[in-house]
Amino acid sequence: MALTPEQVEAFHRDGYLLLESFLSHSQCDALLKRTYDIIAEADLNLHPTTTFSTRRDEESQHVKTDYFINSGDKIRFFFEEGALDGEGKLKGAVDKSLNKIGHALHALEPEFQKVALGERMGELARSLDLQKPAVVQSMVIFKQPHFGGEVNTHQDSTFLYTSPMRLYGVWIALEDADLENGCLWFAPGTHTTGIGRRMLRTVKDGRIELKFEGEDPRIDPQRFVPVPVKKGGMVLIHGEVVHKSEENKSKRSRNIFTFHMYDAGRSEWSKDNWLQPTEQLPFPHIY
C-alpha cells in the first residue's frame, strides 16, 4: 500500500486522502465479527454506562471519568447519549447502543493488530517518510441507525498533540459510509492553520482531570466537502485538518475502525495529552 508521489502531494495539499479497497470485504467482515464477539463476551456489569459526546466543553460525561482517562491500554465501552433513559439505563440492546469501543484494540486484539501494525501500514508510513511510526490508540466507532451522533467540527491534534505536528489518523469503513448515514466531511487545506484548541491533562487534588483551552478555527461551512467511502476504503487524515460527520438518521449503521499514529522519531508526544503510554502498553511501533 505504498502511496504514489501524486497521492502524497494530494494528502499534503488537502490534509486528507481517500484510498479505495484498503481492506477486502472479508477483512471488514472479520473485524465486525470480532467487534460483536467482544461485546458479547464482555461482562458489562463491570463497566459503567459512560456516554461519549463531542460537545466542546467539560460537560461531556466521558471527560470527567477515570473510566475514559485510563482506557488507553484497555478495551472499554462508550454509549450514545440517546441510548440511555432518564435514569441512565440502556433503552435497547447493548450492540445497538454503543458509540465506540476503545482504545487498545490494536494491541490487545489480533484481528485489529494485523491491520494497524501490519505490513500494508508499514508501506504507507514509509511513503509518508515516517521514521518511527507508533500507534497510540484505536477504536471501533459506531453510527447507530436513526440516532448515531453527530461529530462536531474538530482537529484530531486537539486531543492528541505532538511537537512538531506529526499525527495521522487512519479511518477505515467497515460498511459503506455515505451522505445518508454519516460519512466524513473535510475542509481541505485547513491543516495549514495550526491548532486553536487543546484538551489538556491536569492534576487537581491528586486526581487527573481534563480541561479545554483555546478555540477551534472558524471555518466557513461552504468549505466542507463530503467524502463517501465504500466498504473497505480508507481515509488518511492529517492531525490538523478540520473535519466532521453528521448524525445518522438512516436505517443503516455506519461502523468504522480507526486508529492514530505519530512519528516518534521526529516528534515528541505531549505530556499534556489525555492519552499516555503505560508500563502495560508502551505505544507499539509499526516498524
- Kindly report the three-state secondary structure assignment for every residue of 255-287: CEEEEEEEECCCCEECCCCCCCCCCCCCCCECC
CA distance 264 to 133: 6
Give the residue-averaged pLDDT of 141-147.
91
Query: Measuring CA to CA, which residue among 190, 122, 147, 125 is closest to residue 53?
Result: 147
CA distance 139 to 143: 13
Asked if 24 and 172 count as a contact pair (C-beta separation under 8 A), the reply is no
Question: Is the predicted pLDDT of residue 63 greater than 60, yes or no?
Answer: no
Asked if 49 and 81 count as a contact pair (C-beta separation under 8 A), the reply is no
Query: Measuring CA to CA, which residue among 172, 114, 125 is closest to residue 287?
Result: 125
HSE on the CB side for 124, CA within 13 Å?
A: 24
Specify burial of residue 270 (Cβ count, 10 A radius: 0-12, 13-18, 19+): middle
* Summary mean pLDDT of the chain: 93
Q: Has domain 5-269 been given CATH number 3.30.70.420? A: no
Which of the four pLDDT bands, split at 50, 70 and 90, describes residue 64?
Answer: low
Give the residue-averaged pLDDT of 162-181.
98
Tell me the residue type at 222.
Answer: Q
Asked if 120 and 248 count as a contact pair (C-beta separation under 8 A), the reply is no
Question: Is the predicted pLDDT of residue 38 greater than 90, yes or no?
Answer: yes
pLDDT for res 195: 94
Question: Is the predicted pLDDT of residue 129 greater than 80, yes or no?
Answer: yes
CA distance 108 to 143: 23
CA distance 51 to 255: 17
- Considering only residues 114 and 51, tell me which one the structure prediction assigns the higher pLDDT: 114
Question: Is the predicted pLDDT of residue 79 greater than 90, yes or no?
Answer: no
Specify burial of residue 281 (Cβ count, 10 A radius: 0-12, 13-18, 19+): middle
Quote the distance between the C-alpha of residue 261 and its chain's center: 11
Q: State pLDDT tens for residues 215-246.
A: 999 999 999 999 999 999 999 999 999 999 99
What's the angle, vertex CA 230, arms to CA 155 and CA 129, rounded to 5?
50
Residues written for the chain: 287
Q: What percent of the chain has pLDDT over 90?
A: 80
Phi, psi at 261, each rounded to 5°: -135, 155
Longest dimension (CA), the chain: 54
pLDDT for res 89: 79
